[in-house]
A = this chain, B = another copy of it.
């Protein structure tokens, strides 16, 4: 097991990729849609033909959940005591994920600052790009996390 990381181990512009791809299985995508996002474009091939997409596409929330999974496999998740999220600043889905796509992510650190209220913490703002096997951007998210500073 590698050493836990602290605020001081990161720097602006640093990038991390996910270790493995997330394969978007068609049956799993349809089951996810039935449970959480029952709109015609996500539920079956026939109904999806009449939707605005013209074909079956994966729920954006399934792409988001897969992105979370991929995030836990990056260097960013080796911080001491786990990450504390501060919510999301923006999320967009430029193109839909399709069944059979393989997703991977690229994390880029955008900004870093020390916490004013908690001197033992720092705040890291980063972008997560979720890309398919053709390198197309399926989702982009900007978010911040609270990360412990190394003990003096």
A interface with B by C-beta (< 8 Å): 32, 35-41, 51-52, 59-61, 64-66, 68-69, 72, 81-82, 84-93
Contact = CB atoms under 8 A, between A and B. Distances in A.
Name the prevailing secondary structure of the A interface residues: mixed
B51 A61 contact: no
Given A61-B64, A82-B51, A38 B72 contact: yes
Nearest to A59: B68
7 contacts: A36-B69, A39-B72, A52-B84, A61-B61, A65-B65, A85-B93, A87-B93
Given A36-B65, A82-B39, A90 B87 contact: yes
A54 B76 CA distance: 22
